[in-house]
Amino acid sequence: MVNPPFDAVRAWMFQVALPLWAERGVDRAHGGFHEELDFAGAPTDAPRKRTRVACRQTYVFAHAAALGWNDGRALCRHGVQFLLTQAYLGPDPGFAKCLNRDGSVADATPDLYDLAFVLFAFSWAYRATRDADARRGMDLAYDFITHAMRHPAGGFLHEKPMQGWRLQNPHMHLFEASLAAFEATQAPRYLDLAREIYALFLTKFFNGRTLAEYFQDDWSRAPGEEGRLAEPGHQLEWAWILAQFAKVSGEDVSSAAAQLVSFAETYGVDPQSKATRMVVREDGAIVDSSSRTWPNTERIKGWLALYELNGADPRAAVSESANLLLNRYLNTDVPGLWIDHFDANGAPLSKVVPASTFYHVFLAFAELLRLEDRIKALPTD
């Protein structure tokens, strides 16, 4: 059994991608980070800056700092200050969803997806720097989410005011963020929040086979086709988050994680290219056979989760996805960029390089390197 490409992953992270995004992805004129670059590595003229992008880039540089990349600390603090001074609008409405390029407010809507990443970013920043500003940001985000965003039928509003179906995806990222916050502080309230979302997973989101995306107000699955949709990437992502939850809660998540990964592998991974598809139906029928970068990073994390939970050998799946990422998605003329989206035949669809993708790749690769020694010690026959 061949090991995953650890050295190539490490080199891409620390020698290529981090230096490039530190130089070209930071908006030193208006604060925060550029929304996207072009394929020459220059900022585009995108008129908006989503708060989630600032959060994800802050996370990347914080995690890099925690792994010993010294430039990460200053860049992480840059992100923290941007979030506190420009994205934060006060106790009500909390954090803006989107800013204009110059930092003025474009959309003040409280959005749970963005708020989850606010908590995630501040948590990683505090873990990396122990700065008081990062800890204050954690408190601001947690207080707003838990006081202003609750839904009377359980869980949280995905936006305020809420429109459309209820969504599991923002709850998934809040689950992830609450665990990051607990790891950074050991404060019980963050683990309590994680337990609350885990209960929703068990009773509402997951039916033992598939994880739904869209729900009615009472958390019953949306009627019609929308209620039957499943995203393999989210199934794999949930498996990894569940494994992190198990480490701090003692809950036995092995069966659920294994089923999530099994469904995604069976119906969500193209047998020829090994690319992870975007959307399938609960019966396995393919709905969207294109593939973005992130479902492939989640396949890495999902298999690493199974390895830590029950010892399942992750090398085949992890090697396939890591090599696919390096050879297809991250193989650009300017090293350190990515082609985020390919169609089912492997033809590129992306016109720009979205900064938001870095979070997915960096986290998956960091997890792979965290387990490098253990994986290398597995039997070779």
202 pLDDT exceeds 90? Answer: yes
121 pLDDT exceeds 90? Answer: yes
Percent of the chain with pLDDT over 70: 100
CATH of the domain at 173: 1.50.10.10
Rounded Cα–Cα distance for residues 154 and 379 (Å): 46
H runs (alpha helix) in 27-150: 51-66, 72-82, 112-129, 132-148
pLDDT band at 132 (very low <50, low <70, confident <90, very high): very high
357-370 helix and 315-324 helix, angle to the nearest 10 degrees: 140
Which helix (H) or strand (E) segment is 279 a member of? Answer: strand 279-281
51 pLDDT exceeds 90? Answer: yes
219 pLDDT exceeds 80? Answer: yes
Percent of the chain with pLDDT over 90: 98
Whether the model pTM is above 0.95 = yes
Tokens linked to 1: 């059994």
Tokens linked to 27: 């908006």
Rounded Cα–Cα distance for residues 25 and 3 (Å): 32
129 pLDDT exceeds 90? Answer: yes
- State pLDDT tens for residues 159-187: 999 999 999 999 999 999 999 999 999 99
Mean pLDDT over the full length of the chain = 97
In 66-222, DSSP assigns E strands to 98-100, 105-107, 166-167, 214-215
- State pLDDT tens for residues 317-368: 999 999 999 999 999 999 999 999 999 999 999 999 999 999 999 999 999 9
- What letter represents residue 109's amino acid? T
Mean pLDDT value across residues 244-252: 98
80 falls within a domain: yes
Cβ-Cβ contacts under 8 Å for 193 (sequence gap 6 or more): 142, 146, 174, 178
1 falls within a domain: no
- Report how many domains make up the chain: 1
Q: 3-state class of 55 per DSSP? A: helix
254 falls within a domain: yes
259 falls within a domain: yes
98-100: strand order across its sheet: 48-50, 98-100, 105-107
381 pLDDT exceeds 80? Answer: no
290 pLDDT exceeds 90? Answer: yes
Cβ-Cβ contacts under 8 Å for 74 (sequence gap 6 or more): none
Q: Which domain holds residue 167?
A: 6-220+227-376
381 falls within a domain: no
Tokens linked to 36: 């996207």
Nearest in space to 54 (alpha carbons), one of 19, 71, 30, 90: 30
Rounded Cα–Cα distance for residues 252 and 258 (Å): 12
**pLDDT value, residue 1:** 79
End-to-end CA distance of the chain: 6
Rounded to the nearest 5°, which phi and psi values hold at 223? -70, 160
